A and B are shown apart, each in its own frame.
Chain A
Amino acid sequence: MRYQRRSLMRLFEYQGKALFARYGIPVPRSLLAENESQVLSAVDELGLPVVIKAQVLSGGRGRAGGVVVVKTRDAAVGEARRVLGLTVGGEPTRSLLVEEASEHSAEMYLAVSLDRGRREFVALASRSGGTEVESQARGAIVEVPVPLDGLTDDAASALGAKLGLDGRTASEFRSILRRLEKLSREEECELVEINPLAVHLDGSLVALDSKVVLDDNALFRHPEFSQLAPEDPLEGEAAKFGFAFVRLDGNIAVVGNGAGLVLSTLDLVADSGGRAACFLDLGGGAQRDRVEAALRLVRRLPDAKVILVNIFGGITRTTDVAEGLRGVLSEEPMAPVCARISGADQEEAHALLSGSGILVFGSAQEAVLAAVEAVSP
């Protein structure tokens, strides 16, 4: 029952735009570049001016200086070097999209997204896109429900009419929305977003950016996406074991069995003034080998100075967990381990760990305090 899972399956802008193009959604001409000379050949191919855009998954790319218009070859080289050195939200820029610059008169917003509360997909649109869309009042965004078997031409027209579109813009909007909805449904996306959707002076529309979030549970039906390598090698390794893993920026590695339990442990760490280095959920049925694999994984986090283990043994046997902890520790040196182990056979599990060097506690709070203490200067 285990499938590879990731903290979030998102496509880079250039991957999303390739999908857009495959579905007939208009996008500007562009080329991917990984170094300055590739940027120059892209400039020769596309002509000046061009936009150079950092290919990162983190938000806030524009504010970080990751999108820039250049008008000369010299500027293209200089800016390419600068943007390739940018880190956005902790994520280094590994490639650039070089794109023809677009003269446009307005920027709209268009998305097909899961509405969790209503338990259906919806199409959302706004006359004003760009970075303003997140801050604008709810009333400025119009929406229509998207049936599971697809959006009709009438429903797509209705959304354009709610925006007050007419003429060429209205007909192109309807066509782009229907193609975007088809993409969302066929590729099984949680979210597809065009922001901004540029309006040219002649009324035509073009997708200037792409945001695509895949349903990672549907990847078994989309083998082409499962080839995408996770950005973080530890995340990739965690996926092999079926662990849910998220790298964080603190120094306390947090490991537990059950997503909610690990999440609540992160909160306890934060409340006690500590900072977590990761979230690792072993999942149910945490047998000895899985506990060992998890510890070997988190010890490779360069900043982790202590490992905090929180196990509530229900079906999971706490003695298995204890044997796993002891096994790893006897083989290799490791950061100190603070463990909370409760549940069936907990006395036996605690006894197994006495003298092992692992600090064992009966409550999560005690284990958290010990871990925070261990990293305090």
Chain B
Amino acid sequence: MTFEVPEIDEPVIVQGITGRYGSLHAGLMLRYGTNVAAGVTPGKGGEAVEGVPVYDTVKEAADNTGAKASVLFVPAPALLSAAQEAAGAGIRLLVAITEHVPIRDTLKILRICQESGTRLIGPNTPGIIVPSMKLKLGIMPAPSFHEGGVALFSRSGTLMYEVADSLTRSGIGQHVALGVGGDPVNCTTLTECLDWAAAADEVNSVVVVGEIGGDAEERLAGHIEETRFHKPLVAYIAGRSAPREKHMGHAGAIIYGDYGTAESKIGALRAAGAKVARTTSEIPALVRSAR
């Protein structure tokens, strides 16, 4: 299953727009050039944030704007119902910034999305940015990103900004940057991102920022081999020196026994033909030489 990003100037909704975080980032998205057409906060219908009208329900917001995409800043306990409401109102792309979501809520959201054909990125994601379209559905700092041919996929927010910034300063732009999220379960996986990059003509190379925990990078490596993914791929894995059985900030960054170690991920990606950077600062040169 692949996914589509909105067209240029297509309207988008912000759920949780009246909160401190939601209003800050709705403004930043607008100033970047993204068409934030409506906000949703139950009980705050009729208000406005950054000149954007607020509705009580997603359905009203969607009916009044035609939006098919929504960025969610709702509190963790409310994410399940907010995502369910959006999927029910015909929203096709959900970007869930919300962190600290219970695992079983995320699994329920995943089932709802699979049944309704809705794409959700996250939760606990910085979002997605397409610089050529001035499309920013998320919280990333816009100046670090610049138009170009790299598809950057990351399990970490700040490392995605850091890597994008160093690529940009080296003159290497990005077609898209997308955070899959720092949780144990990502509703959009690295593997799905790779399929998207394989099909996108604008993408000439891929950078993956992984970290300890789980087996997303091992699965990605398997998928590279199975699909004979042909574009140059550079990877970086954070947490080579991390202790076992400790959550290292992200709920998903934890090693149990030998499951989820950096060595396993680096080994699998190398075997699949990826170039693996030892530090983030090596990434731009590796991208350049891989092309």
By a beta-carbon cutoff of 8 Å, the part of chain A in contact with chain B is 1-3, 5-8, 58-59, 114, 116-117, 119-121, 134, 148, 185, 188, 190, 215-218, 220-221, 244, 246, 248, 256-264, 266-271, 276, 279, 281, 284-285, 312-315, 342-344, 363-365
Give min CB distance, B288 to chain A, whole Å: 19
B76 touches A263 (CB 8 A): no
Q: How large is the interface on B (under 10, 10 to 19, 20 to 34, 35 or more residues)?
A: 35 or more
Q: Decide: B104 and A188 in contact? CB cutoff 8 A.
A: yes
Q: Which 9 A-B pairs have the closest CB atoms?
A: A260-B156, A258-B158, A259-B249, A314-B141, A270-B241, A260-B159, A218-B102, A244-B249, A116-B214
**Shortest distance between the CB of A27 and any CB in chain B (Å):** 24
Q: How far is the CB of B121 from chain A (nearest CB, A)?
A: 15
- In contact, A312 and B161 (Cβ under 8 angstroms): yes
Binding stretch for chain A, among B38-46, B198-206, B252-260: B252-260
Could you tell me the distance between the alpha carbons of A169 and B75 in the complex, rounded to whole angstroms?
46
Given A1-B100, A114-B103 in contact, is the A267-B154 Cβ separation under 8 Å?
A: no
Picked from A7, A59, A116, A312, the residue with its CB within 8 Å of the CB of B158 is A312
Of A1, A8, A221, A343, chain B has the most CB atoms within 10 Å of the CB of: A1
CB under 8 Å from chain A, chain B span 140-185: 140-141, 143-144, 154-162, 165, 182, 184-185
Interface of A is mostly: mixed
Contact status A259-B248, CB under 8 Å: yes
- Residues in B with CB closer than 8 Å to A3 are 76, 100
CB atoms of A116 and B104 under 8 A apart: no
Q: For B99, list chain A residues within 8 Å (CB).
A: 1
Residue of B nearest to A262 (CB): B249
Closest to B257 in A: A134
Q: Cβ of B230 < 8 Å from any Cβ of A?
A: no
Contacts of A258 in B (CB 8 A): 156-159, 161, 249
CA distance A2 to B19 in the complex (A): 13
A217 to B245, CA, bound (A): 17
Chain B: CB-nearest residue to A311: B158
Of B24, B162, B213, most buried by chain A (CB within 10 Å of CB) is B162
Chain B residues with CB below 8 A from A218, complex form: 102-105
B280 adjacent to A264 (CB under 8 Å): yes
Q: Are B249's CB and A279's CB within 8 A?
A: yes
Give A254 to B169 CA distance when docked, in angstroms: 26
Q: Which residues of chain B are near A342, meaning CB under 8 Å? A: 165
B67 nearest CB across to chain A (Å): 23
Q: Which of B24, B110, B159, B165 is packed against the most chain A CB atoms within 10 Å?
A: B159
